[in-house]
Amino acid sequence: MKNGSWLNAYKMTTDEQIRGISFPESGFEINNNEMLKSSEFENLVENQIVNQTILLERQERCIKLNKEIVKLLELETKK
């Protein structure tokens, strides 16, 4: 947040979900290479990956549970 530019980083991505979004040009001339050498940045990225992985696993469990509940409700209403 304070040592790099996400806008500059987004320009370098090949991820189609991100590439389809129109980001404005950064108003700062920031070289992200220094940010990428930072252990603080590495730890922030790692924490985000862990948190997103945990969230995705929880969402997948909720979806599975919801499907099971719907099946049970459908069975009960057919009786």
Q: What is the pLDDT of residue 52?
A: 96
Of 5, 66, 15, the closest CA to residue 41 belongs to 5
How many angstroms separate the Cα of 39 from the Cα of each of 2, 21, 29, 44, 51? 14, 29, 22, 9, 18
What is the maximum alpha-carbon separation in the chain? 68
Q: Is 25 left (phi over 0), alpha (psi -120 to 50) or beta?
A: beta
Question: pTM of the predicted model, to two decimals?
Answer: 0.59
Per-residue pLDDT tens for 13-43? Answer: 555 555 566 666 766 676 777 778 888 888 9
The rounded mean pLDDT for the chain is: 80
Per-residue pLDDT tens for 44-71? Answer: 889 999 999 999 999 999 999 999 999 9
pLDDT of 72 over the 70 cut? yes
Take residue 39 and report the two structure tokens written for it.
């252990």
Q: What is the pLDDT of residue 35?
A: 77
Based on DSSP, count helices (H) and strands (E) in the chain, helices before strands: 4, 0
